[in-house]
């Protein structure tokens, strides 16, 4: 192609020269013309080289474009393959997704388990106006100091605490055989040691089908009738409440349910004389049966407790065993609107540690013999709603103890208490309130106080408590 172009240029140049020159041709003219032709040929050769160089560059660019096109096609194919895989893959669930079948619970992905976190934060402030009802914001009516004693003369102790703050975790795991299996763990900050405020395990149990195993409220209790709502953590005298390890079976009935339980034993006695202090021995679990039912008018509950208290010092003649018992009955009656009347009574000769208030012993050991303490008493309470967000509760409790002589503790005769409060819920999950608390203690015989050189067999105390609580 380049030779043909060169020839065309040469012919055209000669023709142009001939056309411009019409006179006679001389040797100088011919020489000039040859020089011009040679110059033109040289230019043609240079142009041919430039054209060849341009053709080479075009070919290189075509090769680069072809390579880039192949690479682009591969990338596009990979992107299409990734897009297809993403479209086919299921959307990854969040770490914890709400479980629509269980309000308040979060489903753990890839499992049959749903979790729920709960609890509340509570601040209590108490002022012991006269006397003292325990060493914390939680009342202990058995520790009320006697009249005219040094402790009894100390008034006006103010205490703040958030120890009642509570945390809980509930897990529900679905099974094909028995439905949901419930696991529950709960604690507060009433743990002792280290100056207080330590986390304390309250409950930890698993419940599946009709069985429950772990630590929870004793079967020898009926929390539905134990007490009305109080700001005081421990509530009134006269009802049974205890958390301990147990194994429980529940049998549904046409009306209500029947609970059968074996529970952790604990020899709770006060030993005197030469009897070794480590002589208590637990030889059998506590046995409990309970019946409860909810009706259109309220609630009823009955329970019976059987225990075996035993001592064995390992020395000849220093051992004994005694079967003791307790009974409980509770009734809750719906009155007007959301108002409710509650009553519970507890009686027996071996229920000391099951009571919320007292000396927490069931027997005195003297002359190597176990002598049970007879107890009877109860609590009555009423809750009235002034409005949907404003309510009041009053509660009176009484326990009588027939304590045998000979123990090292002051012989307790009776405890009584009164609670009255006003609680306001300004918005959801929030309670603020004010409560008045009165307590009285009586002993079987007067006790001497060496500091004040006085004798007394009874004592009273008055307390005001304010609380703020937020539940979650």
Residues 144 and 75 in one domain: no
Would residue 106 count as lying in a domain? no
Whole-model pTM: value is 0.78
Residue 70 pLDDT > 80 = no
Task: Provide the domain limits for residue 80.
Answer: 2-88
Q: Dihedrals φ, ψ of 89, to 5°?
A: -75, 140
In which band, very low, low, confident or very high, does the pLDDT at 69 lie, cut at 50, 70 and 90? confident
Would residue 93 count as lying in a domain? no
Residue 82 pLDDT > 90 = no
Residues 21 and 124 in one domain: no
Residues 273 and 156 in one domain: yes
Structural domains in the chain (count): 2
Helices 27-88/2-20 angle, 10° precision: 140
Of 43, 64, 88, which closes a domain? 88
Q: Which residues contact 395 (CB under 8 A, 6 or more apart)?
A: 227, 228, 230, 235, 236, 379, 380, 381, 382, 417, 418, 419, 420
Residues 71 and 171 in one domain: no
Would residue 307 count as lying in a domain? yes
Q: What is the mean pLDDT of the chain?
A: 88
Of 88, 109, 129, which closes a domain? 88
Sheet order of strands, 269-271 included:
269-271, 363-366, 369-372
pLDDT tens figures, 241-269: 999 999 999 999 999 999 999 999 998 98
Q: Are 392 and 421 in contact (CB under 8 A)?
A: yes
CATH number of the domain to which 314 belongs: 2.40.160.10
Residues 200 and 245 in one domain: yes
Would residue 242 count as lying in a domain? yes
Of 68, 88, 108, which closes a domain? 88
Residues 29 and 129 in one domain: no
Mean pLDDT, residues 206-216: 97
Residues 295 and 433 in one domain: yes
Residues 271 and 348 in one domain: yes
Mind giving me the DSSP string for 128-155? EEES-S-SSSS--GGGPPPTTSTTTT--
C-alpha distance from residue 160 to each of 3, 133, 164, 222, 467 (Å): 111, 14, 11, 30, 10
Strand ranges inside 62-112, DSSP E? 97-98, 106-107
Residue 285 pLDDT > 80 = yes
Residues 347 and 272 in one domain: yes
Residue 76 pLDDT > 90 = no
What is d(CA 139, CA 397) in angstroms, rounded to the nearest whole number? Answer: 13
Partners of 397 in beta bridges: 379, 417
Would residue 102 count as lying in a domain? no
Would residue 255 count as lying in a domain? yes
Residue 129 pLDDT > 90 = yes
pLDDT tens figures, 390-422: 999 999 999 999 988 887 888 999 999 999 999
- Compare 176 and 20 and report the one with higher pLDDT: 176
Q: Are 361 and 372 in contact (CB under 8 A)?
A: no
Would residue 107 count as lying in a domain? no
Highest mean pLDDT among 22-26, 306-310, 364-368: 306-310
């Amino acid at each position: 192609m380049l030779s043909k172009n060169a020839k065309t240029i040469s012919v055209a140049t000669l023709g142009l020269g001939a056309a411009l020159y019409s006179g006679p041709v001389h040797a100088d003219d011919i020489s000039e013309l040859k020089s011009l032709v040679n110059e033109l040929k040289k230019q043609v050769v240079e142009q041919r080289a430039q054209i060849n160089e341009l053709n080479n560059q075009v070919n290189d660019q075509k090769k680069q474009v072809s390579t880039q096109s192949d690479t682009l096609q591969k990338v596009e194919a990979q992107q299409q393959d990734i897009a297809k895989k993403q479209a086919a893959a299921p959307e990854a669930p969040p770490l914890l997704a709400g479980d629509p079948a269980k309000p308040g619970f979060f489903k753990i992905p890839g499992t049959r388990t749903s979790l729920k976190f709960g609890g509340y934060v509570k601040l209590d402030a108490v002022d012991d106006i006269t006397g003292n009802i325990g060493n914390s914001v939680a009342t202990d009516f058995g520790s009320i100091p006697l009249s005219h004693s040094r402790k009894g003369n100390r008034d006006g102790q103010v205490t703040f605490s958030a120890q009642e703050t509570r945390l809980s975790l509930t897990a529900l795991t679905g099974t094909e055989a028995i439905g949901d299996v419930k696991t529950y763990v709960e604690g507060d900050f009433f743990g002792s040691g280290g100056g207080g405020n330590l986390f304390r395990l309250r409950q930890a149990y698993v419940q599946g089908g009709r069985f429950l195993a772990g630590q929870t409220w004793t079967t020898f209790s009926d929390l539905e009738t134990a007490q009305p709502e109080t700001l005081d953590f421990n509530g009134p005298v006269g009802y049974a409440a205890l958390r301990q390890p147990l194994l429980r079976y529940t049998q549904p009935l046409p009306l209500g349910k029947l609970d059968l339980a074996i529970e952790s034993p604990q020899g709770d006695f006060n030993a005197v004389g030469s009897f070794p202090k480590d002589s208590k021995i637990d030889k059998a679990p506590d046995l409990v049966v309970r019946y409860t039912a909810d009706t259109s008018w309220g609630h009823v509950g009955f329970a019976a407790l059987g225990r075996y208290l035993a001592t064995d010092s390992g020395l000849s003649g220093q051992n004994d065993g005694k079967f003791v018992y307790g009974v409980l009955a509770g009734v809750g009656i719906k009155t007007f609107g959301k108002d409710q009347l509650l009553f519970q009574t507890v009686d027996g000769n071996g229920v000391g540690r099951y009571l919320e208030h007292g000396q927490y012993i069931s027997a005195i050991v003297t002359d190597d013999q176990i002598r049970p303490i007879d107890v009877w008493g109860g609590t009555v309470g009423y809750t009235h709603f002034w409005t949907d967000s404003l309510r009041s509760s009053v509660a009176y409790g009484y326990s009588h103890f027939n304590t045998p002589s000979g123990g090292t503790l002051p012989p307790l005769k009776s405890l009584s208490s009164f609670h009255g409060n006003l609680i306001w819920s300004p918005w959801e999950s929030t309670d603020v309130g004010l409560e008045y608390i009165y307590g009285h203690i009586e002993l079987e015989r007067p006790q001497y106080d060496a500091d004040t050189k006085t004798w007394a067999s009874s004592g009273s105390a008055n307390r005001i408590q304010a609380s703020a609580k937020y539940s979650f």
